[in-house]
């Protein structure tokens, strides 16, 4: 998980290895290269043609979130029996984006005079929410100011402030829903704040400069507290603390689905284990102009929301490669700490330019030492960084080896060297060259005709979707609802205009 809008000039491999080697000599044996972000970004932007993304694989690695007993009651919902024949809105993907889109459609249309509830169907290739959302690091943290300067250069002050506003809007709204419905325990919400550990002197210098620029631009930095080496719970690095939550993402999405299904404005159904293999024009139907093709039959749709993130280019091939959304495999493990929760701290953490991220789970009865969910290790797989890897049925041993050593090295004595994780899994993120998602009507720039009329997309959160997908789906639902009601749509103030697929005269991705 790397902060969004992070872009940097490429760094040659020789230099990268030099930095890693020097760092190892001076700081001990951190098992991952430092200062790898620029190089991974360069690799991401290489104009290579890997073609469209495949469908999600069927035999995915088991994740703590999905495979803990009772965690996924909707796993196989709608996978048997008759398939819904048609719908006003067909949503492809049951992760945070797809389910948020359904939730927001309900909110948008509630109280509006309509003859019948909006017929909405969600289809997913796998079990409910078994993509990135069911396999991620569990952090729900808005960016405080990281990468502010880079984003400022690229998008300008208004856009960078909107980016921060969108993330705060998401987190505020998600927490509000959880609190209003008394779901804190159901989704394991923890308001521990997040510590960004600044491991190299260069990271510290860049963070100070970003803070200054954010302050000058008028960003709200009241929640930021700088920490020196002695204040980071036993690590020998400085950092800063800011707003941050962690939760059980699948359980939150399950609750959100239940809220959407209860909306009087919607008639909502879900079909899991139903991959959409193609979208084709319907023969002669003006009310349901699109057909979703699945191995179980077809669904006729008026409008389509593509919430397929890393796999978006499977159905929208023009969205493949560096100009679109690149599948990138990420690895996570659940590792038991060797010290009590209070000495580990309840915070969520990131380190090493955001490549590693971790937090301790709440203690369960009888447990003394917390289970820590830690993700990252991708920079140890250089030069490929797991780019264009869309297969989460396997783990990468290099990333795994790095992750096993990371916390014992950073926090001597608090984690046991050589301890095996209780679970280890992978998931597929959707990266864009700008680190920002595509939100809005589907537009194929190579085509002069609008061949995707009625299709919408929100995808490409670049490993940082928890504080963005909910709000991006809200913007999408607003657009779709406006179309249904025959009204025009204007973007909410918090939506960065450069996220929009149909932006005109704005900075390109």
Ligand X SMILES: Cc1cc2nc3c(=O)[nH]c(=O)nc-3n(C[C@H](O)[C@H](O)[C@H](O)COP(=O)(O)OP(=O)(O)OC[C@H]3O[C@@H](n4cnc5c(N)ncnc54)[C@H](O)[C@@H]3O)c2cc1C
Instruction: Check residue 251 for interaction with ligand X (CB under 6 A).
Output: no
Q: Which is nearer to ligand X, 30 or 429 (CB)?
A: 429
Q: Cα(377)–Cα(59) distance, rounded to whole angstroms? A: 22
Instruction: Check residue 138 for interaction with ligand X (CB under 6 A).
Output: yes
Which of these ranges, 94-102, 220-228, 443-451, 480-488, lies near ligand X under the rule CB under 6 A?
94-102
Query: Residue 71 CB: number of other CB atoms within 10 A?
Result: 17
Instruction: Check residue 313 for interaction with ligand X (CB under 6 A).
Output: no
Instruction: Check residue 56 for interaction with ligand X (CB under 6 A).
Output: yes
Q: Cα(405)–Cα(356) distance, rounded to whole angstroms? A: 12
Tokens representing 264? Answer: 């009087």
How far apart are CB 226 and ligand X at their closest, in Å?
A: 23
How far apart are CB 329 and ligand X at their closest, in Å?
A: 8
Helix, coil or strand: residue 157: helix
Among 104, 162, 251, 314, binds ligand X (CB under 6 A): 314
> Which has the closest alpha carbon to 170: 501, 502, 441, 475?
475
Contact 131, 427 (CB under 8 A): yes
Tokens representing 209? Answer: 């400069």
Helix, coil or strand: residue 280: strand
Q: How far apart are the first and last CA of the chain?
A: 20
How far apart are CB 435 and ligand X at their closest, in Å?
A: 11
Instruction: Check residue 271 for interaction with ligand X (CB under 6 A).
Output: no
Total count of residues recorded for the chain: 509
How far apart are CB 227 and ligand X at their closest, in Å?
A: 21
Q: Is 416 left (phi over 0), alpha (psi -120 to 50) or beta?
A: beta
How far apart are CB 350 and ligand X at their closest, in Å?
A: 9
Question: Nearest residue by C-beta to ligand X?
Answer: 465
Instruction: Check residue 299 for interaction with ligand X (CB under 6 A).
Output: no
Instruction: Check residue 135 for interaction with ligand X (CB under 6 A).
Output: yes
Instruction: Check residue 273 for interaction with ligand X (CB under 6 A).
Output: no
Among 121, 123, 207, 265, binds ligand X (CB under 6 A): 123
Residues pairing with 89 in the sheet:
120, 303
Q: Which is nearer to ligand X, 105 or 130 (CB)?
A: 130
How far apart are CB 251 and ligand X at their closest, in Å?
A: 14
CA distances from 222 to 157, 213, 215, 427, 466 (A): 19, 15, 10, 34, 22
Query: Which position has the token pair 């955001």?
Result: 354
Per CB under 6 A, which of residues 318..337 are in contact with ligand X? 330, 332
How far apart are CB 79 and ligand X at their closest, in Å?
A: 12
Q: Which is nearer to ligand X, 375 or 496 (CB)?
A: 375
Which of these ranges, 10-18, 162-170, 280-288, 311-319, lies near ligand X under the rule CB under 6 A?
311-319
Q: Cα(117)–Cα(267) distance, rounded to whole angstroms? A: 6
Among 429, 476, 481, 500, binds ligand X (CB under 6 A): 429
- E strands, 432-509, in order: 438-441, 455-459
Q: Cα(29)–Cα(331) distance, rounded to whole angstroms? A: 21
CA distances from 431 to 86, 326, 460 (A): 32, 5, 5
Contact characters 365-404, ligand X, x per CB under 6 A: ----------x-----------------------------
Residues that bind ligand X (CB under 6 A): 1, 55-56, 92-98, 123-126, 130-133, 135-139, 275-276, 307-309, 311, 314-315, 330, 332, 357, 375, 427-429, 459, 461, 463-467, 469
């Amino acid at each position: 998980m790397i902060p969004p809008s992070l872009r940097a000039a490429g760094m040659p491999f020789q230099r990268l290895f030099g930095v890693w080697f020097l760092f190892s000599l001076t700081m001990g044996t951190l098992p991952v290269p430092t200062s790898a972000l620029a190089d991974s970004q360069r690799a991401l932007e290489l104009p290579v043609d890997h073609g469209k993304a495949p469908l999600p694989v069927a035999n995915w690695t088991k994740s703590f979130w999905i495979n803990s007993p009772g965690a996924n009651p909707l796993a196989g919902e709608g996978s048997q029996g008759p398939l819904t024949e048609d719908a006003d809105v067909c949503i492809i993907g049951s992760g945070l984006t797809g389910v948020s889109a359904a939730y927001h459609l309900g909110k948008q249309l509630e109280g509006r005079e309509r003859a019948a509830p909006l017929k909405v169907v969600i289809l997913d290739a796998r079990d409910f929410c078994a993509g990135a959302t069911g396999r991620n690091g569990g952090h729900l943290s808005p960016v405080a100011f990281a990468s502010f300067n880079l984003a400022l250069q690229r998008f300008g002050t208004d856009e960078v402030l909107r980016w921060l506003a969108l993330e705060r809007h998401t987190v505020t709204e998600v927490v509000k829903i959880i609190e209003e419905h008394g779901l804190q325990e159901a989704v394991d919400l923890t308001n521990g704040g997040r510590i960004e550990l600044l491991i190299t002197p260069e990271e510290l210098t860049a963070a100070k400069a970003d803070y200054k620029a954010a302050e000058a631009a008028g960003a709200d930095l009241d929640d930021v507290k700088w920490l020196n080496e002695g204040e980071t719970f036993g690590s020998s690095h400085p950092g800063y603390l800011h707003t941050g939550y962690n939760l059980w993402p699948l359980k939150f999405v399950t609750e959100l689905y239940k809220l959407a299904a209860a909306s009087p404005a919607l008639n909502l159904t879900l079909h899991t284990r139903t991959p959409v293999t193609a979208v084709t024009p319907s023969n002669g139907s003006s009310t349901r102009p699109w057909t979703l093709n699945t191995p179980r039959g077809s669904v006729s749709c008026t409008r389509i929301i593509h919430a397929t993130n890393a796999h978006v280019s499977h159905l929208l091939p023009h969205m493949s490669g560096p100009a679109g959304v690149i599948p990138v495999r990420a690895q996570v493990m659940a590792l038991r700490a060797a010290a009590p929760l209070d000495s580990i701290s309840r915070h969520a953490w990131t380190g090493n330019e955001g490549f590693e991220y971790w937090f301790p789970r709440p203690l369960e009865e009888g447990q003394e030492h917390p289970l820590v969910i830690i993700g990252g290790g991708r920079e140890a797989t250089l030069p490929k960084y797991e780019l264009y890897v869309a297969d989460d049925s396997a783990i990468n041993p290099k990333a795994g080896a790095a992750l096993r050593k990371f916390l014992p090295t950073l926090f001597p004595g608090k984690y046991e060297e050589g301890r095996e994780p209780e679970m280890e899994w992978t998931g597929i993120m959707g990266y864009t060259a700008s680190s920002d998602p595509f939100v809005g009507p589907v537009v194929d720039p190579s085509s002069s005709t609008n061949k995707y009329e009625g299709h919408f997309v929100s995808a490409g959160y670049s490993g940082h979707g928890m504080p963005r997908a909910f709000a991006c789906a809200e913007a999408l639902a607003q657009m779709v609802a406006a179309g249904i009601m025959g009204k025009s749509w204007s973007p909410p103030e918090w939506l960065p205009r450069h996220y929009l697929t149909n932006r005109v005269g704005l900075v390109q991705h």
